[in-house]
Amino acid sequence: MNRRLLELASLFELSQLLNESLELSRVLNNLLLIPMGRMMISRGAILLHRDGAYRVVMSKGLPPSLRQGSFSLDHFPDTPLCFPPSSQTTETFPAPLIEFARKARLKVAIPFRSNNRNLGMLMFGSKLDGSEFGEEELDYLNSLANIAATTINNALQLEEIRQINRQLDRKIQALETLFDVGQGLSATLDAGQILKLLTYTLMGQMMVTRHAILLQNGENREFPHCKGFEAPALKEVADCLGNTAVPLRAVRPTDLADSRTAARLQQQGVEVLIPIHQQERLMGYVFVGPKASGEPYDAGDLEFLTTLVSQAAISLENARLFQETLEKQRMEEELHLARTIQKQLFPRELPALPGYELFGYNRPSHQVGGDYYDVIPITPRQVAVAIGDVSGKGVPASLLMANLQSALRVMMAGTVPLTEVVQRLNRLIHQNTSMDKFITFFIGILDTERHTFQYVNAGHNPPYRVSDNGEIYPLEAGGLLLGVVPEAEYQSETISLAPGEVIFAYTDGVNEALNAQGEEFGDERLKQLLQKLVGHSVEAMSTRLLEAIDAFVGEEFQADDITLLALRRVGDDAPARGRGE
């Protein structure tokens, strides 16, 4: 009687402990470890019924291969089971359960359920003293499981509620993103900007690094954007899409009726295919690779991608109609005005610096572009060099460049630290532009007496520091691009320049220059060429690079500007040289 009272008191204490929290992990931890400690049990596991199978959710002492084990049962036991079963009871024991218990060396299984719902089971191994489990001990464990079942059921329901809340939060976030993107898309009629905003949303919301956009007009198909995929191979797969039924929404390759096309998409790493529809006209496809997190795409992701691409399709169609109806004279006047503004932004002459060479160059892809570079004398021995790439084209981009230049020159006239200058520029750009406007920006201060170079990189292609022995180092210290996050912080780095060392800055029109096969000029070609040209003047290096790009792209039209800005320490006795184009 006294032992029974002690067991009841113990169960009462345990029930209080289990009911202290509805955190599932804490409840399961107490349920597993407390009886193991009190009964000196060597190993144990808790299995919960999830997704049609019984899965190990917590264990102690199990081999690593079984800690994530799972199996299915045709019928759920009603009473505690002991292993191995006797010959008379083997047929009543579920075979998968017997096999799991054998591999895990578990001796008893205690099922628990709540409201006629099979929740799972407690399983324990041998006791340390080697004795068998008695009937009273099994009754104790069974009572404990029954007491815990209600708490576990409540914890599971709480977890489901939290999961629903997370899904709702995610849905709200997706709707807010779609609303913001819709505003950005409605604010522009530039197809390039629409596609750029689409790709930035894919990267930001879905956290993907591999994505491509295929646009088609009749038999003409092109990839205005392709990152992480091989455009020629993907184009071959796209040709096969004409032989299969066009999906109406975002789908996984395995959902396509044509298994051959699905296999080729999977081979290229495509995980989601989104058609670009405008009314009944197919405008193209968006190809999306895996998430950076490794998580699979769920139904909510597919719905988001369908809506996002539908918004972009409407904006692309509006942009096309706008371009078709825009008067030629008005466009020419706008481009002429923008080019006039842009020319005024670039320095007419670069300062001559003792012991250094300077060279700057800009080639717009159209009459007007979004690239920018500047050289600003600060003191007799200090000069600031800057390069940037403004999103967009035409008058808006030129005006934004003008604002950036004037603000930068005013700020550099004082004694404000370089990081603070960039932070102020970031806040200024964010306050005075819409969400689809941003700037990649790099600025550095050269001290010609100390031969130091302090710089901040705000999301720009990292310039290269090229030593006289051909070693190349990217200049990456800084922070986010300008105009995105108003309170972004930036870091600077200061390096010392030895004689012969070069700082070579450029915009993405260099490394992203495309040839007729859709292949990019690329960072590796650029670095190899810079290494090959060690010892040449920065003007000669830049000229050779431009010749190499022209030879690479041939007659292919380039959609982005090319801008170069380079400096080189040539020695204290060398004549000062500076040239800009």
Tokens (6 digits) for 407: 């603000």
Query: What is this structure's pTM?
Result: 0.46
Assign 247 a pLDDT band (cuts: 50, 70, 90).
confident
397 dihedral zone (left: phi>0; alpha: psi -120 to 50; beta): alpha
Q: Is the pLDDT of residue 162 over 80?
A: no
Give me the pLDDT at residue 260, please: 82
90 burial type by CB count under 10 A (0-12 exposed, 13-18 middle, 19+ buried): exposed
Tokens (6 digits) for 33: 């470890």
Q: Is the pLDDT of residue 419 over 80?
A: yes
Q: Considering the chain, what is the average pLDDT of its residues?
A: 83
Strand, helix or coil for residue 364: coil
Lowest mean pLDDT among 341-350, 356-365, 481-490: 341-350
Average pLDDT over residues 138-156: 80
Lowest mean pLDDT among 246-250, 386-390, 505-509, 540-544: 246-250
Q: Is the pLDDT of residue 132 over 90?
A: no
CA angle (420, 426, 432) in 5-degree steps: 135
Higher-scoring residue by pLDDT: 403, 425? 425
Average pLDDT over residues 89-96: 70
Higher-scoring residue by pLDDT: 255, 533? 533
* Gap between the Cα atoms of 165 and 449, Å rounded: 61
Average pLDDT over residues 458-486: 94
Tokens (6 digits) for 96: 């998968």
Give me the pLDDT at residue 69, please: 84
Q: Give CB contacts under 8 A, 24+ apart, made by 317-322.
A: 317/278, 317/283, 318/189, 319/188, 319/189, 319/190, 319/191, 319/194, 320/191, 322/189
Q: Is the pLDDT of residue 71 over 50?
A: yes
- Kindly list the strands in the beta sheet with 108-114, ordered across the sheet, starting from the edge strand earlier in the chain: 70-71, 53-60, 44-50, 117-124, 108-114, 81-82
Assign 1 a pLDDT band (cuts: 50, 70, 90).
very low
Average pLDDT over residues 131-139: 84
Give me the pLDDT at residue 10, please: 59
Q: Which domains are seen in the chain, by residue range?
A: 2-159 (3.30.450.40), 188-325 (3.30.450.40), 336-580 (3.60.40.10)
Tokens (6 digits) for 545: 């690079």
Residue that the structure tokens 């950076």 belong to: 292
